[in-house]
Amino acid sequence: MEDTLSITENRLLVIDDQQELCEFIAEVARRLGFESLAVTEPDSFRRAYLDFNPTVIVLDLQMAGSDGIELLRYLGGQGAKAQVLVVSGMDHRVLSTADQVGRSQGLKMLGGLQKPIMLSDLEAVLRKTMKQGSVITAGDLEQALARNELQVYYQPKARRTTDNRWLIEGVEALARWKHPKRGFIPPPQFIQIAENSGLIRQLTERVVELSMRQIARWHAENLPLSIAINLSPRLLNDRSFPDMAESAAQSHGINPKHIIFEVTESAAMSDPETTMDVLTRLRVKNFGLSIDDFGTGYSSLKHLYLMPFSELKIDISFVRDVCHTNEARVMVEAMVMLAHKLGLTSCAEGVETPEILEFLAKSECDRVQGYLIGKPVPGNELPGIVQLWNNSQSTTVAV
């Protein structure tokens, strides 16, 4: 297997006078691996364009004080090489006319997206534009580990109380690589290199060490959070991993019951015998075990009941759709029930709206995680989020 992966010099400039939408587009792009810049003032657009030199521009057609067509002409006049996507609340004919205007100016047009913009449509268009330019190597990652460029962000996980409130009681640790030149590189772009090059053990040890240090600090501040740490499939073949995890917990004075290892379903199935050995030893040591992204990958219900999991984590792709399709609702309800019948707790990931949260409470899902409750943040920002969210839950009841 390759130990390198193509990444890009992808820069996205978005201009939209609706601030929330503008930031949303920039955030989606960032998660895909773009460096992104959001501009809400049409007057700032020209300066931003010249300074930032974007490879992709997302342009709102209707803005107070300016219109997108004017900006398309400006870009044409500059001989812009960037690919341009237009967005608008107006109907498709307006979008296709704007697209033609752009083409007549010699611009590389990506077509149009009508508001409200669907996340999946936006991601699909942006993905197609990504340049496979520069390359990350295992050597870069090794250097990053040596230079401490690897950080951990923490995303809250909330538990449902008997009176249907959701209280943050834990976090998931998510690796972040802050590259000195390329900015944040998202995990999907380096975890695979770490796995293929054997650096995953070192990377995981680093994540475990930083996470435990953080948890110990929170416990000392009277914030008794638990922590979920992602485990790569490779480490399920490493029989020494449970001992390493145990001594890391001991050295920070943390009871393993506060630590959950999340394992992807496909990973848990690849070499059942060794996996079973490693997972069972982790459980015996009192660590929690979560089967991640459940419902995707090479699912084998047989292995689910054979392996000693304590939590079933319902994949974002089902959760996201519960307010749109009956099938997603049926699947989520069935997965919650399956978890409970096997004696596991259920956790839904990707909870982005109050409607989804309400559905999950009605379905008796035990835990939730998603942007509605909180995004992944550096450790020092988490206590504020916990306080704000948990206080809001003592006054309003979610269902």
Footprint of ligand C2E (CB under 6 A): 155, 174-175, 186-188, 191, 204, 207, 230, 232, 262, 292-293, 349-352, 369-371, 376
Rounded least distance, CB 209 to ligand C2E, Å: 11
Phi (first) and psi of residue 87, to 5 degrees: -130, 145
Rounded least distance, CB 373 to ligand C2E, Å: 8
Q: Say whether 154 sits in a helix, a strand or coil.
A: strand
Rounded least distance, CB 165 to ligand C2E, Å: 19
Q: Say whether 370 sits in a helix, a strand or coil.
A: coil
Cβ proximity to ligand C2E, 107 vs 357, nearer residue: 357
371 binds, among ligand C2E, Ca ion, none (CB under 5 to 8 A by kind): ligand C2E
203, β-bridge pairs: none
Least Cα distance to 123 among 241, 25, 7 occurs for: 25
89: number of Cβ within 10 Å: 14
Per-residue x/- track, 50-89, Ca ion (CB under 5 A): ----------------------------------------
207 binds, among ligand C2E, Ca ion, none (CB under 5 to 8 A by kind): ligand C2E
16 binds, among ligand C2E, Ca ion, none (CB under 5 to 8 A by kind): none
b/e burial code for range 198-215 (CB count within 10 A of at least 16 → b): ebbbbbbbbbbebbbebb
Query: Half-sphere exposure of 248 toward its Cβ, with a 13 Å CA cutoff?
Result: 22
Per-residue x/- track, 277-306, Ca ion (CB under 5 A): ---------------xx-------------
Rounded least distance, CB 77 to Ca ion, Å: 46
In this structure, what token pair is assigned to residue 230?
Answer: 């992602």
b/e burial code for range 381-399 (CB count within 10 A of at least 16 → b): ebeebbeebbeebeeeebe
Q: Is residue 179 within 8 Å of residue 185, measured between CB atoms?
A: yes
298 binds, among ligand C2E, Ca ion, none (CB under 5 to 8 A by kind): none
Residue 265 in contact with Ca ion, rule: CB under 5 A: no
Element housing 260 (H / E): strand 259-264
Cβ proximity to Ca ion, 84 vs 357, nearer residue: 357
Rounded least distance, CB 61 to ligand C2E, Å: 26
265 binds, among Ca ion, ligand C2E, none (CB under 5 to 8 A by kind): none
233 binds, among Ca ion, ligand C2E, none (CB under 5 to 8 A by kind): none
Rounded least distance, CB 144 to ligand C2E, Å: 13
175 binds, among Ca ion, ligand C2E, none (CB under 5 to 8 A by kind): ligand C2E
Instruction: List, as one string, the DSSP characters of 220-257.
Output: HTT---EEEEEE-GGGGG-TTHHHHHHHHHHHTT--GG
Report how far residue 110's alpha carbon sits from residue 207's, in angstroms, rounded to the nearest whole number. Answer: 39
Rounded least distance, CB 31 to Ca ion, Å: 14
Element housing 30 (H / E): helix 19-32
Cβ proximity to Ca ion, 140 vs 262, nearer residue: 262
Phi (first) and psi of residue 376, to 5 degrees: -65, 130
Give me the residues that bind Ca ion (CB under 5 A), please. 230, 262, 292-293
